[in-house]
Structure 1
Amino acid sequence: MGASGDSVRDLLAANLRRARQERGLSLSELSRRSRIGKATLHQLEAGAGNPTIETVFSLSRALEVPISDLLDRQEPSGPTVVRAADVEVLRGEGVDLRPLRGIESGGAFFEVYDQQVRAGSRQDSLGHVGTEHTIVQAGRLGVRVDGRDVELGPGDYVGFDARLPHAYTALEGTVRSVLLLQYRSDQRLHAAPAEPPHLLETP
């Protein structure tokens, strides 16, 4: 995800337009669902906007798609190496995210991020699709999920339903962590349509 080549704004522009059209949503309806102004959405689809973490997560929530469906491009199969220097950082009010890789396995899809919560900062999320997994590497991280607080140190893990309101706070220095977002494969925009149910024959 997010390797050199296309910028975040270019990828978001193409994928947002495609996602909105596949969901059959007008700009006005997407604006209502995401709480993002129609003019801002128009700019984002034109590749002229300046997307933040908050914007992308709001769109993910409104469109009910994984983050990577908005930020990724089709990648060739086979081994993939992602260099930190080649990855464009997605910035939020308190967090810097580097999207590293999307992994599909056994009916699940995972997005892997290098996540840094800036010292003294807090990042709030109203919630989005998927299950969120965070493993702290350095620093102390405060995590609030639906009003419940936990504190994590290096090596600690937390997982929760990402649809719940949640927040990350750097309690000690800049917090380095690995963020995994987990989805069902059928939540992705490119997922093959499900087979129609077989009708039971009545005797």
Structure 2
Amino acid sequence: MGDSEGSVRGVLAANLKRVRAERGLSLSELSRRAGIGKATLSQLESGTGNPTLETVFGLARVLGVPISDLVDGAPTGGVTVVRAADVEALSGAGVDLRPLRRIESGDSVFEIYDQQVRPGGTQDSAGHSGTEHTVVQAGRLGVRVNGCDVELGPGDYVGFDATLPHAYTALGGEVVRSVLLLHFRAEQRLHVADPHDG
């Protein structure tokens, strides 16, 4: 997809500027809070940066918004079909995450992702807002949540408080295909965290 307004880069650029302005944060202040270089943030806001999974999750955490507030375009009505080949992946150290759908219901936001965990790497997260749900479709997935390890196979499910430190690892040398559902309640979206505040 290139750098068009419909690409992940283009959508992130527009949404990041909007959310940062709504929060009343300067580029410098967001850079400080998120631990991301000001030049990198400037590139992301101009649509020329290369957003990683870690960067997008980190920005969402600091801004106090669901990930889809940053990477989703305008919602559409009627029947929604999302082709995997048409969705750019956000890639991290061990995971490729394709945002498929954002659903708003009452005071909740649900985000649905196609998640592929690559062998040979681990995707670590220090934690972010929301509740995380994963259903494995193919392969064997190692999940660590706050020091507790579980192993999942096809059809298995795990759910946990996403504010806890967690990690995903593909076991057995093959890609793990899974569906990731993130659930955010209204109260989880309101707090803007500043790790430097005492």
Deviations 1:179-202 (A, max 9, x none): 00101146569xxxxxxxxxxxxx
| Aligned equivalent of 1:61 | 61
Identical-pair percentage? 74
8 Å CA contact retained: 1:117, 1:168: yes
Moved more, 177-186 or 58-67: 177-186
| Aligned equivalent of 1:36 | 36
| Aligned equivalent of 1:164 | 164
Deviations 1:52-89 (A, max 9, x none): 10110110111110000000111222221111111111
Report the Cα offset of residue 41 of structure 1. Answer: 0.6
Alpha-carbon distance between aligned partners in 2 of 1:186 and 1:155, rounded to the nearest angstrom: 31
| Aligned equivalent of 2:135 | 135
Alpha-carbon distance between aligned partners in 2 of 1:20 and 1:186, rounded to the nearest angstrom: 19
Report the Cα offset of residue 176 of structure 1. Answer: 0.5
Long gaps (5+) in structure 1: 190-203
| Aligned equivalent of 2:116 | 116
Long gaps (5+) in structure 2: 191-198
Alpha-carbon distance between aligned partners in 1 of 2:160 and 2:187, rounded to the nearest angstrom: 20
TM-score by length of 1: 0.87
Deviations 1:103-144 (A, max 9, x none): 122432110000000122210111111111001111111111
3-state SS, counterpart of residue 120 of structure 2: coil
**Aligned CA distance change for structure 1 residues 186 and 10 (closer, same or farther; 3 Å):** farther
| Aligned equivalent of 2:184 | 183
3-state SS, counterpart of residue 61 of structure 2: helix
8 Å CA contact retained: 2:124, 2:168: yes
Is 1:27 aligned to 2:27, yes or no? yes
**CA RMSD between the two structures:** 1.6
| Aligned equivalent of 2:94 | 94
Deviations 1:92-112 (A, max 9, x none): 111011111111224321100
8 Å CA contact retained: 2:139, 2:177: yes
8 Å CA contact retained: 2:131, 2:161: yes
Report the Cα offset of residue 158 of structure 1. Answer: 0.7
Alpha-carbon distance between aligned partners in 1 of 2:157 and 2:102, rounded to the nearest angstrom: 20
Q: Which has the larger radius of gyration?
A: 1
Deviations 1:145-177 (A, max 9, x none): 112111111111111111111110001211110
| Aligned equivalent of 1:8 | 8
**Aligned CA distance change for structure 1 residues 24 and 61 (closer, same or farther; 3 Å):** same
Alpha-carbon distance between aligned partners in 2 of 1:74 and 1:187, rounded to the nearest angstrom: 22
